[in-house]
Amino acid sequence: QTSGPVLEKAGDLAAMLTNLEAGDVLFIDEIHRMSPHIEEILYPAMEDGQLDILIGEGPGARSIKLDLPAFTLIGATTRAGLLTSPLRDRFGIVQRLEFYNLVDLTSIVRRTGSILSVGIDVYGAKEIARRSRGTPRVANRLLKRVRDFAEVRGNGMIDQETANKALLLLEVDDSGFDLMDRKLLITLINTFDGGPAGIDSLAASIGEEKHTLEDVVEPYLVQQGFIKRTPRGRVATDKAIEHFAKLNKS
């Protein structure tokens, strides 16, 4: 397992490929961040199961081919549009992973609780899962913080009430929105009258990096129907406006 930014030299990837054994899986996270000259090492490995190595320099240089054992390459990215066409087209299977549903996330939270030796009932697990933005990584992170709360301010057992109190303390609301989510939506609704607003203007208004908003904050809000991306900028949906109207009344 490695990631795109770590592979700075062609030799780094070549060393990984030559160390593979038959049936191994090579997983490259953030594969879109690999440089083009590193990608070119992968092309013959993916197509022909071979590695092209250049020996020597200048007029006397020669290329030799090394046969690689049969292996599986898996690449992961959140920015599929940044993959070069030659690399993307060489993958035999391209899949898009959606957010996890509540049932699966609840099972993940309960399993992690078992691994961490945390007492948690199904209602506590469901409360954490419901606010986890459809992402197991977020669910496990919240579980650990709720566990800390339960141990310090409770009896160590996580039920729905304990989970709710802990998550409110962490400023994670019923929809799974954290402080940055609410800040973005409230700014879009109040400062920009619901939009459209450019991402650069939004980033400047809330004091956050543009790429953080695009890669971390926005995807969940767009998927849940709270923000629309339009050619003119971001627009708050009726669902977002109604959500905060209800919060203000409560």
Write down the pLDDT at residue 193.
82
Task: Identify the structural domains of the chain with CATH numbers, from first to last.
Answer: 2-90 (3.40.50.300), 102-169 (1.10.8.60), 179-249 (1.10.10.10)
Tens digit of each residue's pLDDT (9 = 90 or more) over 52-88: 776 666 676 677 777 888 888 888 887 777 788 888 8
pLDDT, tens digit (0-9, with 9 covering 90-100), for 168-192: 888 888 878 888 888 888 888 888 8
The sign of the dihedral angle between the CA atoms of 207, 213, 216, 217 is positive
Residue 229 region by backbone torsions, left for phi larger than 0, else alpha for psi between -120 and 50, else beta: beta
Query: Could you tell me the pLDDT band of residue 247, with boundaries at 50, 70 and 90?
Result: low
Q: pLDDT class for 248, splitting at 50, 70, 90?
A: low
pLDDT of the residue at 104: 93
Q: Which pLDDT belongs to residue 129?
A: 92
Amino acid identity of 244? F
Question: What confidence tens digit (pLDDT) does each residue in 13-57 have?
Answer: 888 888 888 888 888 888 888 888 788 888 888 888 888 776 666
Tell me the percentage of the chain whose pLDDT exceeds 90. 14
More confidently predicted of 60 and 156: 156
